[in-house]
Amino acid sequence: MNTSMQEKVGGREFTSIFLIAVGMKLSDITTTILFESGQTAGWMIPLLSLAFMLVAYVVLMSVLKRRAGQGLPEIVFTVGGKFGGGLICLLLFAAALLMTAVTSRGYVDIINVMVYQQSPLYALYLMLMAAAFYVASRGFAAIARISWVLIFLIEGAIFLLIAIMWQDIDWMRLYPWAGPGVLAIVRTGFMHSAMFGEIILATALVPQVTTFKAFRIGSAVGFIVSSLKISFLMAVYLSVFDYPEIIHIAYPFQQLTKNTSFGRVFTHAESLFIGFWLVISVIYFAFYIYLLAYLFGHALRMNRFQNLQLPMAGLVVFIGLIPGNTEQVRSYWELLISYSTVLYGALPFVIWLLDWNWRRRHAKT
Amino acid sequence: MRKLKLALILPLFLVAGCWDHLELEEQAFVVVVGLDKGPGNTVEVTFQIANPQIGSSDIGTAEGEPPSDTVRFTSPDILSAKELANSVVTRTINFAHLKTMIVHEALARDEAFPHIAGAAIRDPELRREVALIVSREKAYDFIQKNRPRLETRPHKYFELMQQRWQETGFVPFSTFNQYLQQQVVDSMFLAIYATADPKNYRVSRKDDYLAGEVPKHSGDPVQMMGAAVFRNGRMIGTLTGQQMRWAQMLRHKSNIDAFITSFPDPLDERAMVTVRLFKNGGTKVRLNLAKERPDIHVTIPLRAQILSFTSLQPYATDTEKQILLERHLKEEIEQEALDVIRLSQRKFQGDLFEWELIARKQFMTMPAYQAYGWARHYRKANVKVKVDLRIENFGKQRTPYSETVKGGD
């Protein structure tokens, strides 16, 4: 349709996609769920989770490095054969699809509860996904470029939010620092490491980035900065709302923005932040729809995977509408995260083994 | 194709905002909510609704309209009262600009109050930053009697009062957020104490008043002075304005940083010394929790500006008298702070000074802290207060006018 479909993406645009897509987790149900098990140490969990995920990432990168320019689907088809490759791709696709459906439902719930209480859920859902689909249909380069354009505004808005709330912050509320105990924190961190599962999924997009080096630096920087950001914001929530009040609050980010004001005149600054937040969530889900279509298209070895975006968006809405209420969304999310942790954690090792086997066989011949 | 797309998208602009549309003209903005105990398990909810036309350039079309309207309903909770109000009020009741919630003391002391407050916060329109005021009389009467002369618009009144509260420190800066935070087991919360029914005037040399006692002879009947003390979400007592100031000073992070107060003069018991006290850095609290009766050492760093002393002693020029004054002020402050601490340990049996945050630091895990039971140990704690006082200046006069005044009697 247009040239941006084939256009490759530079390092900084690629980084900003992850700064947005991963950084978004600071504003959704992820944080409240982590506080529930992490208590006053909830803010450490994102750092620990990322540390666990990075181990898997490094293993995967060692394979990718040997086959520069190839994405995850191409590699698994080479080393795993048609059946193994297809299976791995479909597994990744299924994990990503369910995750997208549950997270997007979480976002729609937030919009419904905090902003538009009288609008029906399906209408909000359709509008969000339609906007996301529209952005995704412009191609990966378009998502990347929008992210790059908006990234400074978004980080600026978060900075502004913290600056306004600075007076209400009391860092003493972070104590006792170990929360439920060191072991419990490490365990929760490990169990939830799939919240950074995108770092594994992202490797599918290697061919879309100009150089392999740009990909490596972009994804590493994007994820590390995002996890620091999530962790810092969680510390801010905790030091404003205090434990155990924090676990009673359904959406801390939105509550925090509700407390903001610029002096006496602009007392309802939340509309500014909610506006920003809506724009970013559209980009966030655009990225996911693109990724879903990409993974599924590659699993079936289709060339025109762009045509799959509309069905993917529809599928996300249908699956997302299944949970009955906001609390069910939460339990599905928990369940999904623990299963995907196994998938994202084990997959790089499986691929490494397959690759090792492939190399051994090909070295002989 | 392009035209078809356009034809599909354009009608969307016409249907925009069907469900959650708000017409600005049809909104009634509640600025104050009053809560009283109703019969049975109900609450009497009073809404003070602002008239946005007053105080704006649109006043011409609203001549003769009052700046606000007050309506009262009896209902199971605040949110049902909101809908019920529309049987009378022509516009949709909106809490988006709600800044203040006034609670009758009898309701605040009632066991139902934590439930009412906890239920109300679910409404996304109700902000956690709403100020919480406890009134001695019924909230409805309070709102009815509050007719500030200098502020026509009610929201402005509370907005400006809030800033004065932070300056003087006579009342705590209490929001719904803090109330909910400290609703947990054995936690204390201080709310603003107010009345619109001043009865028992009394004159104190040390500004030691509770709302209603301030010797004031004209003007708006509303007085905000002192604090309502809450334990486990229910009111259990009051603190006077002066006690409240010391309570704020004893917190490691206080909202006030300067206030003016008076102490008896060390050289002339009938005379008073008025000083402006500045907090010179954070209050330091050292805990020793190893013993069954924990040791608490509090250090309050203060700077003082001597504003006036009716004894007309040459404090500014006489070094010896200066040292005497400094030591005297130090002892007076230490004693007053200690009195507030004793009061909290014996009468309220809870920590009013947020020292639990400092106690939390001593524990590694939350279960260990909860098992320790800070509130239980605090009651028995051995508290020592130390004031680091430095007299900064003596105002713009050096020597007093006459030293013979003292010798005159």
Nearest one of B175, B210, B232, B243 to B349, comparing CA atoms: B232
For A266-311, write each residue's pLDDT tens digit.
Answer: 777 888 888 889 989 999 999 999 999 999 998 888 878 888 899 9
B328 within 8 A of B359, measured Cβ to Cβ: no
Average pLDDT over residues A132-152: 91
Report, in this order, helix, strand and coil percent for chain B, each rounded to 5.
35, 25, 40
C-alpha–C-alpha distance, residues A183 and A179, integer Å:
10
> Which of B177, B253, B365 is the closest to A179 by Cβ?
B365
CATH topology of domain B252-409: GMP Synthetase; Chain A, domain 3 (3.30.300)
Cross-chain residue pair A178–B364, CB shorter than 8 Å: yes
ipTM of the modeled complex: 0.85
Instruction: Please report the pLDDT score of residue A134 as a whole number.
Output: 92
Mutate to test the interface with A, among B366, B369, B374 (most CBs of A within 10 A): B366
Nearest one of A67, A68, A61, A89 to A77, comparing CA atoms: A89
Tokens of A251: 């959406």
Tokens of A205: 């997009």
A327 close contact with B: CB closer than 8 A: no
For A22-79, write each residue's pLDDT tens digit.
Answer: 888 898 888 988 998 888 899 999 999 999 999 999 999 999 888 877 888 888 888 8
Nearest one of B126, B128, B122 to B177, comparing CA atoms: B128
Indicate the domain borders of chain B. Answer: 27-239, 252-409
> Which of B127, B360, B365 is the closest to A180 by Cβ?
B365
SS3 state at B285: strand
Question: Which chain B residues touch A115 with a CB distance below 8 Å?
Answer: 20, 124
B235, β-bridge pairs? B230
Residue of B nearest to A240 (CA): B177
- pLDDT for residue A174 is more than 60: yes
Q: Which residues contact B189 (CB under 8 A, 6 or more apart)?
A: B174, B178, B179, B181, B182, B183, B229, B230, B231, B233
Question: Which chain B residues touch A267 with a CB distance below 8 Å?
Answer: 97
Nearest one of A309, A17, A285, A288 to A128, comparing CA atoms: A285
Indicate the domain borders of chain A. Answer: 8-364
Average pLDDT over residues A111-123: 88
Q: Answer whether 0.80 is exceeded by the pTM.
A: yes
B364 close contact with A: CB closer than 8 A: yes
DSSP secondary-structure letter at B266? S
Mutate to test the interface with A, among B23, B153, B181 (most CBs of A within 10 A): B181
> Which of A119, A173, A268 is the closest to B19 by Cβ?
A119
pLDDT above 70 covers a percentage of chain A that reads 97
Instruction: Please report the pLDDT score of residue A238 as a whole number.
Output: 92
Angle (deg, nearest 10), helices A270-299 and A140-165: 150
b/e map B170-199, b = 16+ CB within 10 Å = bbbbbbbbbbbbbbeebbbbbbbbbbbbbe
Residue of A nearest to B99 (CA): A267
Question: Which chain B residues touch A244 with a CB distance below 8 Å?
Answer: 184
Question: Which chain B residues touch A119 with a CB distance below 8 Å?
Answer: 19-20
A224 within 8 A of A153, measured Cβ to Cβ: no
CA of B382 vs chain A CAs: smallest distance (Å): 23
> Is residue A239 exposed (0-12), middle (13-18) or buried (19+ Cβ within 10 Å)?
buried
CATH topology of domain A8-364: Amino acid/polyamine transporter I (1.20.1740)
CB within 8 Å of chain B, chain A residues 75-94: none
CA of A318 vs chain B CAs: smallest distance (Å): 22
Instruction: Please report the pLDDT score of residue A271 as a whole number.
Output: 82
Question: Which chain A residues touch B128 with a CB distance below 8 Å?
Answer: 255, 258-259
Q: Measured at the alpha carbon of residue A164, what is the angle toward residues A158 and A168, in degrees to the nearest 5?
A: 115
Instruction: Please report the pLDDT score of residue B183 as a whole number.
Output: 67
Other Cβ atoms less than 10 A from the Cβ of B131: the count is 22
Cross-chain residue pair A259–B368, CB shorter than 8 Å: no
Amino acid at B316: A
DSSP secondary-structure letter at B399? S
CB within 8 Å of chain B, chain A residues 255-294: 255, 258-259, 264, 267-268
Instruction: Please report the pLDDT score of residue A262 as a whole number.
Output: 75
CA of B370 vs chain A CAs: smallest distance (Å): 10
pLDDT < 50 regions, chain B: 405-409
Cross-chain residue pair A114–B124, CB shorter than 8 Å: yes
> A277: left (phi > 0), else alpha (psi -120 to 50), else beta?
alpha
Tokens of B123: 């409404």
Instruction: Please report the pLDDT score of residue A190 as a whole number.
Output: 92
